[in-house]
Amino acid sequence: MTAALLTLADSRLPAGGHTHSGGVEQAIARGVLTDPGSLAAFLRRRLTTSGAVAAGLAAAACRA
């Protein structure tokens, strides 16, 4: 693997202003987030599920 390929595969590659928004823009556009309280609840749910999703993907990768 080349350094360029590793850079392009890196999820932290700055390829856009909304790369790591976690769906906040869509939630605002759909009216899900309307105030600071709804944003806080949205972010709590994202934090709760992101660890479980990452763990599941890591387990699947180990079994592949």
**Cα(25)–Cα(40) distance, integer angstroms:** 14
pTM (2 d.p.): 0.56
The whole-number pLDDT of residue 6 equals 75
pLDDT in tens, 8-58: 777 666 665 555 677 888 899 999 999 999 999 999 998 888 888 889 999
Half-sphere exposure of 61 (CA within 13 A, CB side): 6
CA triplet 22, 28, 29: central angle to 5 degrees? 110
| Amino acid in position 39 | L
Buried b (16+ CB within 10 A) or exposed e, 27-56: beeeeebeeeeeeeebeeeeeeeeeeeeee
The whole-number pLDDT of residue 20 equals 65
